Amino acid sequence: MKKLILSLVFVVLAFGLSAQSNVIKTNPLALAFGSFNATFERVVNPSSSILISGQYMFKLLGEEVNLGGIGLGYRYYFTHAKKPVPGGFYITPQGAFSFGNVKNEDGTNTGANSFGIGAEIGYQWVWESGFVLDLGIGPMYRFLSGTGDAEGNASGIWPSATLAIGYAF
């Protein structure tokens, strides 16, 4: 987990820091459901940005888990002609990879991995104070697999949603 956080910090610094072209955000409600995530968004041109995210999940549907994940997305803003990016309506093609293990009822751990490809459509508000609210929804096709005592693999279309607050700088 420490390596994941340090990697995200390095990526943020590697992209550089300039006024109103970066956003850092998280989903505060996710902690109530057993997950912590953070996303860094960097504006790359007047109509789009890239997103790099990291996640750590310690609970899933009441089960004890230990999962880490990374994600990458490209965000195109439809309203870039009328609103400065990173604000407005957007579409985001994205990919995500998660890895870790799930604790079984007998106390043993089972490995779990997933890879997903999907897209979201949404809206991001950026206020003059720098406060950011991001809402989005879309489908994601996930390839799920387990190792160890897993009974098989599962994959299919899952919902993907964004509810995040953050700060633009």
Domain positions in the chain: 2-168
Higher pLDDT: 136 or 16? It is 136
Backbone angles phi, psi at 7, to 5 degrees: -65, -40
pLDDT band at 148 (very low <50, low <70, confident <90, very high): low
Task: Write out the H or E segment, with its range, that includes residue 140.
Answer: strand 131-146
pTM of the model: 0.82
4-13, 26-35, 40-49, range with the lowest pLDDT: 4-13
Q: Taking 50 as the threshold, does the pLDDT of residue 17 lie above it?
A: no
Higher pLDDT: 146 or 93? It is 93
- What gap in Å lies between CA 39 and CA 22, rounded to an integer? 10
- What gap in Å lies between CA 167 and CA 21, rounded to an integer? 11
Q: 2-168, which class in CATH?
A: mainly beta
Q: Taking 70 as the threshold, does the pLDDT of residue 138 lie above it?
A: yes
pLDDT at 10: 56
Strand 109-126 with 88-103, pairing: antiparallel
Contact 74/29 with Cβ under 8 angstroms? no
* 48 three-state secondary structure: strand
Taken in order 139, 141, 145, 150, the sign of the CA dihedral is positive
- Give residues with Cβ within 8 angstroms of 99, minimum separation 6: 67, 68, 69, 112, 113
